[in-house]
Amino acid sequence: MAEHGPDRGVSRRGFLAGLGAGAGALTLAPAEAIARTVTTQAGGTAVPPDRFGRIFTLPPFADFNPPSLRNALVEMGRPGGIVDAKDPLAEGPIRLITNPELSPNNLDNATHTAGVTFLGQFLDHDMTFDRSSPLGTVTAPEATPNTRTPGLDLDSVYGRGPVADPQLYNPADTAKLKVESGGLFEDLPRMANGQAIIGDPRNDENLIISGLHCAFLLFHNRVVDHLRAQGQGANVFAAAQQLVRWHYQWIILHEFLPLVIGQDVVNAILTGGRRFYRPAPGQQFIPVEFQGACYRFGHSMVRPSYRANLAGNSDGSAFFGFIFDPAGLGQADPVDLRGGARAPRRFIGWQTFFDFGDGQVRPNKRIDTKISTPLFNLPLAAIASGDPPTSLVQRNLLRHVTWSIPSGQNIARAIGVPALESQHFPELQALGHGLPASTPLWYYILKEAEVAGGLKLAGVGARIVGEVFIGLLQLDNASYLRTNPSWVPTLPRRSGGAGDFRMVDLLTFARVDPTSRGQ
């Protein structure tokens, strides 16, 4: 049974005051207290980088022996249950975008554009892939392989390179990645059965992530052209790969992280150091507190539906669709935005997802404890293991049992930030098992964000996500932050010049932006 501290009665005002608004907001526990709760893996003793590990030595959030615990987690994550935003799907995908008042439980986040969700998913697929641990069965993280490299090196795009993975590369020019046409615009290369030929199959899970993968394929290829035009001959692939990776890492540190954890927390970690995730250089690993809980915050940002593009349909109209819709099963050109299909309208108009200044961008959903209704009935093809449950929320909660993840409250106390207590979780009271006072970490960090307004992560969630991302960049021997921390981007921007680089610049350089497409 998880060890519960006393109910200290932290109010919303007290919680927010404890978090503060500046770089000093995260009041850390004394060094000796940290040493008692941080694992030797996180503190510097090597754990193989191709395995998962832990940051904290704390007990799991609950006693796993009673069969009723699993039933409680399944009930918590069921369709129509307490986490379901209960979006009125019968209104259709267009009205759920244009009439946000139809989803009062699923509020928009005007500080994020819709593309932040899928950039976050793309980053996840670059760092971590657990193909083997059984859902809801206690498993040692160190015994479970991570089949992605634990770094931000785009191995999900490059694979093992043109020699070891030639199927990913253009046979006529092996310095470039293979891209095909899906009709109007680019598509992932595919086999005859529609299966994508890419470094990570999950990047064809939905239309937006497959479009983002295509953008990175084209981005690399344009960088190859750029370097050749500057006279680069020998080793152009390696030079282009480094340039792509470093611009990508810049976007993570200067655009993505400030949006999801706040610039103040980014600054606090860069200037004050990582206190909890501290492996030795070259021994970075993915901790289960991150993989199994905190970095799943992005599931709360997913909208029920999206406008995929402005003029993709055969009549020139916009293509709207639910992110997943059971009606799309088996259709050659699905009505929803699932991946794995090729048709002229199945491309992404990026002006919906990132801000090109044309007024077309749409927002994310807030980070809170309400999850869009379509995510409670995933297509099996969108689940890496291909097996139920199909509720993403149930899967997230059962993952806490797989990894014996500590409660959010215990981690908050260990790292010295204000802990949410049982009065913040009245909706969990009927489930028993002490869940209001010892809450699964994923749900806890969503509630933390919700209490703070839902625009970004707070407290435990912000600290763990920030330390792992920044740690991966600081510990990787090939990253710009370790190799050349004073480096600044050199590729041209939309607005001209260089010295900074954002997602709109990457998409423009790749020529998938609205202007390049005439849309």
> Is 9 within the bounds of a domain?
no
> Is 395 within the bounds of a domain?
yes
Whole-angstrom Cα Rg for the chain: 22
What is the pLDDT at residue 498? 82
The stretches in the chain having pLDDT less than 50 are 1-9, 20-25
What is the pLDDT at residue 74? 97
> Is 10 within the bounds of a domain?
no
> Is 7 within the bounds of a domain?
no
- Give me the number of domains the chain comprises: 1
**Cβ–Cβ under 8 Å, residues 97 and 303:** yes
Backbone angles phi, psi at 398, to 5 degrees: -65, -25
| Per-residue pLDDT reduced to its tens digit, 361-379 | 999 999 999 999 999 999 8
**Rounded CA gap, 57 and 194, in Å?**
45
What is the pLDDT at residue 183? 80
The distance in angstroms from the start CA to the end CA of the chain is 57
**Rounded CA gap, 294 and 274, in Å?**
17
> Is 34 within the bounds of a domain?
no
What is the pLDDT at residue 167? 98
CB atoms within 10 A of CB 30: 9
| Token output for 404 | 């014996």
What is the pLDDT at residue 339? 95
Give one DSSP letter per residue of 331-391, joined into a string: -SS-SS-BSS---TT-S--GGGTS--SSS---EEE-SSS-B-GGGGS--GGGSTT--S---
What is the pLDDT at residue 158? 98
What is the pLDDT at residue 352? 97
**Rounded CA gap, 450 and 465, in Å?**
17
* Residue whose tokens read 């993952």: 399
- Dihedral (Cα; 507, 509, 510, 511), 10-degree rounding: 90
| Per-residue pLDDT reduced to its tens digit, 146-166 | 999 999 999 999 999 999 999
> Is 88 within the bounds of a domain?
yes
| Token output for 67 | 């069969």
Task: Supply the pTM of this predicted model.
Answer: 0.93
| Per-residue pLDDT reduced to its tens digit, 314-338 | 999 999 999 999 999 999 999 999 9
**Cβ–Cβ under 8 Å, residues 85 and 301:** no
Give the bridge partners for 186, in sequence order: 181
Does an H or E element contain 466, and which? helix 459-475
Does an H or E element contain 481, and which? helix 480-483
> Is 18 within the bounds of a domain?
no
What is the pLDDT at residue 10? 56
Q: Which CATH number do you get for residue 450?
A: 1.10.640.10
> Is 13 within the bounds of a domain?
no
Domain of 343, in residue numbers: 51-517
- Alpha-helix residue ranges (DSSP H) falling in 297-340: none
